[in-house]
Chain A
Amino acid sequence: MKLSELIEGRIKLNLPATNWEEAVRAAGALLESKGDISPTYTEAMVRVVRELGPYAVIAPGVALPHARPEDGVRRSCLGLVRLATPVEFGNKANDPVDLVFPLGGSRDEGHLEVLAALARFLSTPGNLEAIRKAKTEEEVLSVFRQHEMEGGAR
Chain B
Amino acid sequence: MRIVTLCGMGFGSSLMLKMTIEDILRARGIKAEVVAWDLGSFKGQQADVVVAPDDMERHLKDYPGVVVLISNLVDRKEIETKVVGAVEGLLKGAGGTK
A: residues with CB less than 8 A from B are: 48, 52-56, 58-60, 62, 64, 66-68, 91-94, 103, 105, 111-112, 115-116, 118-119, 122-123
Residues of B within 8 A of A52 (CB): 8-9, 39
> CA A44 – CA B55 in complex, angstroms?
21
Residues 51 to 86 of chain B near chain A (Cβ within 8 Å) = 53-56, 71-76
Pick the 10 closest A-B CB pairs, nearest first.
A52-B8, A93-B71, A55-B8, A122-B74, A58-B73, A123-B74, A119-B16, A59-B74, A59-B72, A66-B12
Cross-chain contact A115 with B19 (CB below 8 angstroms): yes
Residues of B within 8 A of A112 (CB): 15, 19
Cross-chain contact B75 with A123 (CB below 8 angstroms): yes
Residues of B within 8 A of A66 (CB): 9, 11-12
Given contact pairs A48-B9, A116-B16, a sample of 8 additional A-B residue pairs in the complex whose CB atoms are under 8 Å apart: A52-B8, A54-B55, A55-B13, A58-B73, A93-B54, A105-B12, A111-B15, A115-B15
Residues of A within 8 A of B76 (CB): 123
B8 CB to nearest A CB, Å: 4
Residues of B within 8 A of A55 (CB): 7-9, 13, 53, 55-56
Cross-chain contact A105 with B8 (CB below 8 angstroms): no
Residues of A within 8 A of B11 (CB): 66, 68, 105, 111
Residues of B within 8 A of A103 (CB): 12
> CA A119 – CA B20 in complex, angstroms?
8
Cross-chain contact B8 with A48 (CB below 8 angstroms): yes
Residues 29 to 54 of chain B near chain A (Cβ within 8 Å) = 39, 53-54
A124 CB to nearest B CB, Å: 9
Residues 1 to 32 of chain B near chain A (Cβ within 8 Å) = 7-9, 11-13, 15-16, 19-20
> CA A112 – CA B39 in complex, angstroms?
19
Which residue in chain A gives the minimum CB-CB distance to B20?
A: A119
Which residue in chain B gives the minimum CB-CB distance to A103?
A: B12
Cross-chain contact A91 with B73 (CB below 8 angstroms): no
> CA A58 – CA B74 in complex, angstroms?
7
